[in-house]
Amino acid sequence: MARQLVTNRLLLRSWRIEDAEAALDVYGSAEVTRWLSPIMETVPDIVAMRLLLRQWIAEDVRAIPPVGRWCIQRREDDRVIGGASLLPLPPGNQDLEVGWHVHPELWEQSYTGEAMFALVRWAFEHEVDELFAVVRPDNVQAAETVRDNGMEWAGKTDKYFGQTVELYRLRPADLDRLAPRADLPPGYGA
């Protein structure tokens, strides 16, 4: 089961069925799920969201740390604002991906980076020596988040999910915030 993680502004905790309405605000948004397809489509309604949460909760109970899914809750008002995960990547389930999904109205508030940093610290405390982020080539905001958290661009790949994506990698030494930023991928910010 995913351990509760606390940051300055966020509480990352296990999902609960009663989170369904707030989760639907995130995963029912095409703005969010367009970056998750083909793995996850837009959740159509509250019934489907409850079913998905039940699945995530059951998977989380069986997961061996640091693998898991977290609900992202804002500490100041207890609002559920998104979700985050550390999950094995197909094929082979050998590479571990850090992922996050926050309500679109909050994208500019740096919650994603804060959640991501908490998860990578958690993973490295569990002797993970390398994490990955898989980012769609046109998802500039996600690329900026991973780079701001020390991830290095590792190139393009079609290894995951049957589509070409940008791959970013993070190792424990990369968390040194004083280290220079990695090179930008070709065409970034153009």
HEC sequence for 72-141: EEECCCCCEEEEEEEEEECCCCCEEEEEEEECHHHHHHCHHHHHHHHHHHHHHHCCCCCEEEEECCCCHH
Query: What's the CA gap between 127 and 66, in Å, rounded?
Result: 9
Average pLDDT estimate for 158-165: 88
Query: What's the CA gap between 71 and 148, in Å, rounded?
Result: 22
DSSP state of 1: -
The tens digit of pLDDT for each residue in 33-89 reads 988 867 789 999 999 999 999 999 999 999 999 999 999 999 999 999 999 999 999
pLDDT reading at 180 higher than 50 = no
Q: What is the pLDDT of residue 92?
A: 81
The tens digit of pLDDT for each residue in 16-38 reads 999 999 999 999 999 999 888 67
* pLDDT band (50, 70, 90) for residue 183: very low
The tens digit of pLDDT for each residue in 110-147 reads 899 899 989 999 999 999 999 999 999 889 989 998 88
Ranges 40-44, 89-93, 170-174, most confident: 40-44
**Residue that wins the pLDDT comparison between 1 and 95:** 95
The bridge status of strand 10-13 relative to strand 5-6 is: antiparallel
pLDDT reading at 185 higher than 60 = no
pLDDT reading at 182 higher than 60 = no
pLDDT reading at 175 higher than 90 = no
**Residue that wins the pLDDT comparison between 46 and 92:** 46
Does an H or E element contain 147, and which?
A: helix 140-148
pLDDT reading at 190 higher than 70 = no
